[in-house]
Chains A and B, each alone.
Chain A
Amino acid sequence: MKILVPVKRVIDYNVRPRVKPDGSGVDLANVKMSMNPFDEIAVEEAIRLKEAGKAEEVIAISVGPAKAQETLRTALAMGADRAILIESDETVEPLAVAKLLKAVADAEEPGLILLGKQAIDDDCNQTGQMLAALMDRPQGTFASKVELDGDSATVTREVDGGLETVRLTLPAIITTDLRLNEPRYASLPNIMKAKKKPLETKSPADYGVDVTPRLTTLKVAEPPVRQAGEKVASVDELVAKLKDMGVA
């Protein structure tokens, strides 16, 4: 079967985001961008499933600006077979991304779609669930373990208070949590090989999807700054402070 892996180009997780002074958004000019960390985990899982003989082809897909090609090349260098870029210079919301992914899935008919659980820029945590809804397929969100068995997938999910295991009928949509795996680094020869792998460029219009945002961002502001307090010199002083505050 085929596995479809959507990946997103986001600000590198090590970079501290800066809010633009005019409050229109976060400043992304000249900021290091990378593949969303949860998506790296999704790519890794897809490749491992292929290596285990459970899948024949891994297709990476991204919705974003022309530069998202770099992100797709990274996925190809990790081991994906081919890539699709749906190019859009505007921000595309999870709902529209899910519609585009559904259109691709309808054409490619993957047995499994693996997404990251959330993107570290908008922190939405929606796309996988929305895609599952639009396709009327089961969803295994926040997965820390995935086992494929014939026409079903057994997924261990990280939930509040523990680990939940569910069995899903394939085709299914699974979103990855951090502990699913440790993504590999692309080797130099594989990075070179990835340059020759097919990368198809499309537009949202090719799929007949309207990507007009439904949410308007009125303002983006710095979070309230927490003032550093004071340092105490000893445990006794700390205990006294806590007692003064009535918190211990």
Chain B
Amino acid sequence: MKCLVLVEQEAGAIKDATLSAITAAAKIGTVHALIAAEGDAAKQAADAAAKIAGVEQVLVAADGAYAHMLAENVAPLIIGLMEGYDAFVAPSTSIGKNIAPRVAAKLDVMQISDIISVEGEKSFTRPIYAGNAIATVESSDAKMVITVRGTAFEKAAAEGGSASVEEVTPAGNPGLSNFVGLEESGGERPELTSAGVIVSGGRALKDAETFDKVITPLADKLGAAIGASRAAVDAGYISNDYQVGQTGKIVAPELYIAVGISGAIQHLAGMKDSKVIVAINKDEDAPIFQVADIGLVADLYDAVPELTEKLG
């Protein structure tokens, strides 16, 4: 099986989700990495991708049309290359989820979304019903299109490979859509989906100011990313790209600290594969305690500042 893996990069730096997708693809067959990007970023990403362990070849399409990874522009490039591949593999990020089904439909194959394990050449497991069930599915299509849940696979080593780099001809711009702008959130903190530690807050934090006052110092102390439940996002405490859950980000850090989060299934679907879960909640019957490795029944307004002070 020959797999073409979509590389996601920012300013030439390859994202962790791609490294996980490469690990998954290597379990299916040989791995070729595809970089679609603008000029300099494409070159830097190609150099970086060539060093990833397990990558046999790097294909680079450098064109302004790929600067913002618009699905309308990137999908035709992939479709054109798929003649020589048995599978197209993309990380299950907002970019991968946007592009892959467009590729699948044009190849007339059913996509297998968000796989968490490779069971055979054409069989995979994937969570359904918000992670309340795990389905094992087998594809009968001639070619496969797969998206990979990053937290379910180890990251491929960024060094150790020595792939050859080949330029491919860009597929042009069909002119269906235009990038207007990007309003970034975040900043210096580790990225939520790849952070080793996450401190997450829920509705019990009252308002945006309280959320920041309680959660941020603890996150700073631990060098952690900040997360939030849907309730906290909907109540406006924090913007929605911090949301952990079925409809937000799926995370699996070493340590997940849930503060004032009851543990609705929507939220658990996004974090229950974390290595260690700590819950701080006033309500001792909160469902979060059923999955927490360490639970502390306490008022978060007392417990979190005390924890922040006593750590490190």
A positions within 8 Å CB-CB of B: 11, 13, 16-17, 19, 26, 93-95, 98, 120-134, 136-142, 144, 154, 157-169, 177-179, 213-223, 226, 228-232, 234-236, 238-239, 241-242, 245, 247-248
A sample of 29 cross-chain residue pairs with beta-carbon separation below 8 angstroms, ordered by A number, consists of A26-B133, A98-B105, A120-B130, A123-B126, A123-B127, A123-B130, A129-B71, A133-B104, A133-B105, A136-B174, A137-B176, A140-B177, A160-B93, A161-B185, A163-B241, A165-B179, A166-B179, A213-B110, A214-B140, A215-B137, A220-B135, A221-B133, A226-B272, A228-B291, A231-B289, A231-B295, A235-B298, A238-B278, A248-B311
B127, B129, B293 — most chain A CB neighbours (10 Å): B129
Which residues from chain B contact A129 at a C-beta distance below 8 Å? 71, 97-102, 105
Please name the residue on chain B nearest to A165 by beta carbon: B180
Q: Is the CB of B111 within 8 A of A94?
A: yes
Q: Is the interface of B mostly helix, strand, loop or mixed?
A: mixed
Q: Is the CB of B312 within 8 A of A232?
A: no
Known: A223-B131, A223-B134. A160 touches B110 (CB 8 A): no
Q: Is the interface of A mostly helix, strand, loop or mixed?
A: mixed
Q: Is the CB of A239 within 8 A of B311?
A: yes
Which residues from chain A contact B94 at a C-beta distance below 8 Å? 142, 157-160
Please name the residue on chain A nearest to B196 by beta carbon: A247
User: Interface size bucket, B side?
Assistant: 35 or more
- B108 close to A (CB within 8 Å): yes
Please name the residue on chain B nearest to A163 by beta carbon: B183
- B240 close to A (CB within 8 Å): yes
Q: Is the CB of A133 within 8 A of B101?
A: yes
Q: Is the CB of A219 within 8 A of B135?
A: yes
Q: Is the CB of B129 within 8 A of A214?
A: no
Tell me the bound Cα distance from A223 to B290 in angstroms: 15
Minimal beta-carbon separation of B229 from chain A (angstroms) = 13
Identify which of B47-55, B155-163, B206-214, B302-310 touches chain A: B302-310
- B82 close to A (CB within 8 Å): no
Q: Is the CB of B185 within 8 A of A238?
A: no
Known: A124-B113, A126-B101, A142-B94. A161 touches B184 (CB 8 A): yes
